[in-house]
Amino acid sequence: MSTEFTPLGIAFMILAWSCVIGLSIFSVGKVLRKNELESDDE
């Protein structure tokens, strides 16, 4: 088993990280902008 971090391995890590970090920034950012729940008295 190779112990060298191959360019393809690095690419996979960066791609996976980008996906989850991007998704988190998009969704959590949007939630933070709308951080209120409807009130009962509608």
Q: Which residues bind other proteins (CB under 8 A)?
A: 1-6, 8-13, 15-17, 19-21, 23-24, 26-28, 30-32, 34-38, 40, 42
Going by the DSSP 8-state scheme, the letter that residue 5 receives in this structure is: -
Minimum distance, C-beta of residue 14 to other proteins, in the bound complex (Å): 9
H or E segment to which residue 12 belongs: helix 7-33
28's enclosing H/E stretch is helix 7-33
Find the shortest distance in angstroms from Cβ 21 to other proteins: 6
The minimum distance between CB 26 and other proteins, in angstroms, equals: 8
